[in-house]
Amino acid sequence: MNEIQLTKRLVYKLQISFKLKTIHTGFHLSNNLWFKQEWERIHLQNQFVPPPIQPSPDIVYIDFEDRLVGIEVKKFNKKDQNTKSISRSFYDGIGQALVMLTWGYGRSMAHF
């Protein structure tokens, strides 16, 4: 299973579990009107500047507390079956999730 398949599976589970009205995947922040409107609505009083366009979260939705949630999906494998080391994508996913918090997302998750 690759990251795209994992993302689709997670979106399905989120929609079923939380009955989310709107959930977006695989878009570029720079040209997504929904994202721009929601960002301005949620952060109007804080005057947060919208985040840079890269890296874009894999999944974005509004939670029940009216917070913008960004999810970064990463699939990782052990580099070598004989060692305990893991691939670089593990660390990249954690870093991207932390960066989303600094941009002003209400929540940010890295899902592996």
For residue range 48-102, list pLDDT tens digits in order.
666 665 667 888 888 888 888 888 887 766 666 666 666 666 667 777 777 777 6
Give the global pTM. 0.71
| CA pair distance 85, 82, nearest whole angstrom | 9
Q: Which amino acid is at 57?
A: P
pLDDT tens, residue by residue, 4-45 = 888 899 889 888 888 887 888 877 776 788 888 888 888 776
Torsion sign (Cα): 45, 48, 53, 59:
negative
Residues 6+ apart with CB under 8 A from 111: 6, 10, 71, 72, 73, 74, 93
Helices (H) and strands (E) in the chain, counts: 3, 4
Strands 59-62 and 23-25 come out as antiparallel
The pLDDT score that the predictor gives to residue 80 is 64
The pLDDT score that the predictor gives to residue 112 is 47
